[in-house]
Amino acid sequence: MNFNDEAIKKVLLAGNYIEEKDIAIAEEYAKEHRGSFVDYLLGQGLLSRAIIGQAFAESFGVSYSDLEAHSPRKEQVFLIPEELAKKYRTVVYSQKGSDVVIATDDPTQEELLANLQPLFPDKKLTITLAIPDEIDAIFANYHLGLGAIFAKIIDSKGRAAPEIINQIFEEALLLKVSDIHCEPEEHRVVIRFRIDGVLHDVGEMPKEYYENIVNRLKVQSKLRIDEHFSAQDGVIRYASPSHTEMVDLRVSIVPTLDGEKVAIRILSSSVRDLGLSDIGLSLALQEQIIKSAKKPFGMILVTGPTGSGKTTTLYSIIKIINTRGTNITTIEDPVEYKIHGINQIQVNTQTNLTFGNGLRAIMRQDPNTIFVGEIRDLETADIAVNAALTGHLMLSTFHANNAATAIPRFIDMGVEPFLVGSTLELIVGQRLVRKICDSCKVSFRINKVAELESFGSEVARHFKDGATLYKGNGCEVCSHTGYKGRIGVFEFLSTSPELQNLIAKSPSTKDVMALIKSQGFVSMFEDGIEKVKAGMTTIEEVLRVVGS
């Protein structure tokens, strides 16, 4: 909604809020001074923001909500997720019993009520009008408020950098953030946190303080501070006052047009709840994975894009087979968790300890099981296949969209197809979906499957009339997002004799899919739908990460 001068003039006159002669004087003045006649009227006291709001509200036939006089509380603001709020430019103005008053600067939006109503089941929503820049001011609540903290530190200190950095680290640990991004723009630097896979803006600072911050981060991660034009990677071992153990932070600095962008991955230093059920594997899949992992040789590949939880799955497998009678050696980049009783090697390109060289060295150490962080070139793939053929269980991640595409992609690297067929034991495809928050989970029934048609027929065909679904209403625990934590959705492709024969012929993804579908393959999407039915996640979330 655009509240420009013309529009304001129209509604003011239409509602008899102001006389034509006053507008004429104001316009004359505005023309002379190259200003806005609204500013003049405001300045002369002939008009107030509330009157403008009233006039517009009346023109839309709704009430006016004065956000400046009655600012909603932060927890009320969070009742509408940021994305939705900004899309429809809405905030919750007030809430009394079952009555919820919504303010927007455009009450004419058709889908507005329909899209907000699901957030407030059993409540009566009333749409009212608010002034655009007052709505923008309320949106600032969505930011977690690091910006205000930065400003305070900058005001009170000459040397602000160490304190700002600690503030960012502490806030990130508190919110269980996986990545911190410092993104320089032309005049400011935006700090963003990735929480449960989604990036959120959490604060900003003036750019003049940024150089000191980057310099300090470089010193802490033992990088060159005089280097501004090439990418650098390092690690900070951070001793947090609020944590008993050290936290490893992997720092990556990349030059951009507006300055050096810093991304920091927070690595947990030990494996806690990493059971196969914790990551979301059904009992049937757990049995299958244990059966494959207990074979003395062969290869298990876990595929998926970056951040899909591949390494976590492999660590869970390693935990199962980690007994005193066997030797497990890993080569990783980076070592993400330390596991007691296994030998973990960190890739180091400066000393030429690559995946390939490391793997060759490990082979001379007589291991039973080898975990290679990632197979990404022919050299590593060749050694891995050989290891798997000669009595070792090989575990690795592989960058492919799903289990079926991994087969042609692996062959494309240059490995003999028949060798791929005879070593591959199991390919796991996976993604992470957000879990519905347990503290505010509610169920609801769909009367007719047709209500799900908007998700596509691929989704709808998995449900029946009267099916029960679940969602999170939003609460303090989940920062009003309705989601808390993540869980994997999986697909398993274990090699049958028929598939081995097919792989030897260098098949396309389509060929592979055709065969495994006839053998009862369950895709990640289908596993996701099962998790929707079980109330673990939502249809929206499954479609977001897997598609259909």
Specify the residue, 476 or 498, whose C-beta has the smaller distance to Zn ion. Answer: 476
Q: Give the nearer residue to Zn ion in terms of CB position, either 28 or 438.
A: 438
The least CB distance from residue 84 to Zn ion, in Å, is 16
Give CA–CA dist 20/26, Å, rounded: 10
In the complex, the smallest distance separating the C-beta of residue 440 from Zn ion, rounded to whole angstroms, is: 3
Select 148 or 477, whichever has its Cβ closest to Zn ion. Answer: 477
Minimal distance in Å, beta carbon 475 to Zn ion? 4
Q: How far is the CB of 482 from Zn ion (least distance, A)?
A: 6
Stretch binding Zn ion (CB under 5 A), from 77-85, 152-160, 473-481, 520-528? 473-481
- Per CB under 5 A, the segment of 107-115, 148-156, 465-473, 502-510 that binds Zn ion is 465-473
Spatial distance between the Cα atoms of 172 and 190, rounded to a whole number of angstroms? 15
**Min dist. Cβ of residue 74 to Zn ion (A):** 16
Residue 439 as a binder of Zn ion (CB under 5 A): the answer is yes
Output 99 or 438, the one with its CB closest to Zn ion.
438
CA dihedral 252, 256, 258, 262 (to 10 degrees): -10
Check residue 477 for interaction with Zn ion (CB under 5 A): yes
Min CB(528)–Zn ion separation in Å: 21
Q: Which is nearer to Zn ion, 52 or 177 (CB)?
A: 177
Residue 475 within binding range of Zn ion, rule CB under 5 A: yes
Q: Is 244 helix (H, G, I), strand (E, B) or coil?
A: coil
From 1-9, 119-127, 314-322, 476-484, give the range in contact with Zn ion by CB under 5 A. 476-484
- Could you tell me the smallest distance in angstroms from the CB atom of residue 77 to Zn ion? 16
Structure tokens at 471: 């969602």
Asked if residue 442 binds Zn ion (CB under 5 A), the reply is: no
CB-wise, 249 or 440, nearer to Zn ion?
440
How does DSSP assign 331-384, residue by residue? EESS--SB-TTSEEEE-BGGGTB-HHHHHHHHHTT--SEEEES---SHHHHHHH
**Stretch 45-84: interaction string toward Zn ion, x if CB under 5 A:** ----------------------------------------
Minimum CB distance to Zn ion, residue 474 (Å): 6
Element housing 300 (H / E): strand 298-303
For Zn ion, give the closer residue by CB, 88 or 483.
Answer: 483
Amino acid at 288: Q
Tell me the DSSP string of 29-94.
Answer: HHHHTTS-HHHHHHHTTS--HHHHHHHHHHHHTSEE--TTTSPPPHHHHTTS-HHHHHHHTEEEEE
Rounded to the nearest whole angstrom, what is the least distance from the CB of residue 538 to Zn ion in the complex?
13
By CB under 5 A, residue 534 contacts Zn ion: no
Q: How far is the CB of 370 from Zn ion (least distance, A)?
A: 42
Tell me how far apart the alpha carbons of residues 149 and 146 are, in angstroms, rounded to a whole number: 5
Report which of 452, 440, 516 is spatially closest to residue 482, judged by C-alpha positions.
440
Residue given tokens 């209500």 in the structure block: 451
Is the omega angle on the peptide bond into residue 184 within 30 degrees of 0, that is, cis?
A: no
Nearer to Zn ion, 107 or 472 (CB): 472
DSSP structure string for 427-482: EEEEEEEEEEPTTSEEEEE-SSGGGGGGG-HHHHTT--TT-EEEEE---TTTTTSS
Give the separation between CA 196 and CA 174, rounded to whole angstroms.
Answer: 13
**Which lies closer to Zn ion via its Cβ, residue 119 or residue 251?**
119
Of 101-109, 274-282, 318-326, 466-474, the window that binds Zn ion (rule: CB under 5 A) is: 466-474
Q: List the one residue from 77, 440, 532, 539 that touches Zn ion (CB under 5 A).
A: 440
Scan for tokens 């009367």, then name that residue.
Answer: 447
Question: CB–CB of 390/396 below 8 Å?
Answer: no
Smallest gap from Cβ 476 to Zn ion, in A, equals: 7
CB of residue 135 to Zn ion, shortest distance in Å:
25
Local structure of residue 536 (DSSP, 8 states): S
Cβ distance to Zn ion smaller for residue 200 or 310: 200
Query: How many angstroms separate the CA atoms of 110 and 118, rounded?
Result: 15
Decide: is 478 part of the binding site for Zn ion (CB under 5 A). yes
14 CB-contact burial (10 Å; exposed 0-12 / middle 13-18 / buried 19+): exposed
Backbone angles phi, psi at 214, to 5 degrees: -60, -45
Residue 274, interface with Zn ion (CB under 5 A)? no
Nearer to Zn ion, 462 or 484 (CB): 484
Q: Does residue 393 belong to the site contacting Zn ion (CB under 5 A)?
A: no
Q: Which is nearer to Zn ion, 166 or 439 (CB)?
A: 439
Which element (helix H / strand E) includes 328?
strand 328-332
Number of residues in contact with Zn ion under rule CB under 5 A? 7
Task: Give the x/- contact pattern for Zn ion in 399-438, rule: CB under 5 A.
Answer: --------------------------------------x-
Q: What is the dihedral of CA 151, 155, 157, 161, to 10 degrees?
A: 30
If we measure between CA atoms, which residue out of 464, 442, 445, 470 comes closest to residue 542? 470
Binding-site ranges for Zn ion (CB under 5 A): 437, 439-440, 472, 475, 477-478
